[in-house]
Amino acid sequence: MKGKILVVEDESSILTIIRTYLTNAGFTVISSDNGLDALALAKQSPPDLIVLDLNLPGMDGLDVAVRLREWSDVYILMLTARGEEVDRITGLQLGADDYLTKPFSPRELVARVEALLRRRRATSFRSHLTRFQNIAIDPDGHVAYAGDKALDMTATEFQVLWALVRHAGRVLTRDQLMTQVWGANYYGTERVVDVYVGQVRRKLQEATGKVLIETVRGVGYKFVDDPDR
């Protein structure tokens, strides 16, 4: 078995095609035609990857992705219809790992699914640590290391760091950080993000002598692996 895929798609003809191709490629497929059931299913029987249609009746794909990201790092491949450029970008910001525009070739979909899962294996093979030049992160143990030394961080500080590290080299807006760390239903101010990022940056700097989190003015923050380069 190559992995379990949850397909969330309300159009039964498309669902059937996706299911057929993924099953033939060796995956176990579970499915749902709406967001609420999909969330329940993902919790009850955690999949390795979710193929998520953007346009769903009731709760749409973006809402599902945001809710999922409150407690899950599962890979999400978002399906969008043509001309949903804005939604597509938002979808990626909200935590989809890749997207595919309809109509798509089912072979392409299988290739994308396999590519995402390979990415996961490549990282988990090297033990549980995600290593950078200056620090290493153990996402399961919620610990960051500089050399052999574990950094003293609060749970929230670690979540802030982990969110930035997962998007290393890319900018995360304050809004995205807030959603990923505090959840979509948190209505605090973005100031709290600045405070936590400041604390994390200071701790990293004390431990490594380097500024590993850059402020991108007017946009947000970025984790940089090797700031000297």
Q: What SS3 state is found at 5? A: strand
| Interface with Ca ion, residue 53, by CB under 5 A | yes
Contact segment (CB under 5 A) with Ca ion among 6-14, 87-95, 129-137, 142-150 equals 6-14
Contact segment (CB under 5 A) with Ca ion among 9-17, 35-43, 66-74, 174-182 equals 9-17
Cα dihedral across residues 46, 52, 56, 59: positive or negative:
positive
51/177 with CB nearer Ca ion: 51
Contact segment (CB under 5 A) with Ca ion among 46-54, 96-104, 195-203, 205-213 equals 46-54
Residue pair 163/70 in contact by the 8 Å Cβ criterion: no
51/200 with CB nearer Ca ion: 51
Residue 195 CB-half CA count within 13 A? 6
- Considering only 10, 70, 98, 214, the residue that binds Ca ion (CB under 5 A) is 10
CA-based nearest residue to 182, from 88, 91, 69: 69
| Interface with Ca ion, residue 55, by CB under 5 A | yes
41/150 with CB nearer Ca ion: 41
- Give the per-residue contact string, 101-130, with Ca ion (x = CB under 5 A; - = no): ------------------------------
Beta strands (DSSP E) in 111-219 are: 130-131, 136-138, 143-146, 149-150, 171-173, 213-216
- Residue showing the smallest CB distance to Ca ion in the complex: 55
Residue pair 52/96 in contact by the 8 Å Cβ criterion: yes
| Interface with Ca ion, residue 48, by CB under 5 A | no
CA distance 123 to 134: 17
Interface residues toward Ca ion, by CB under 5 A: 10, 53, 55
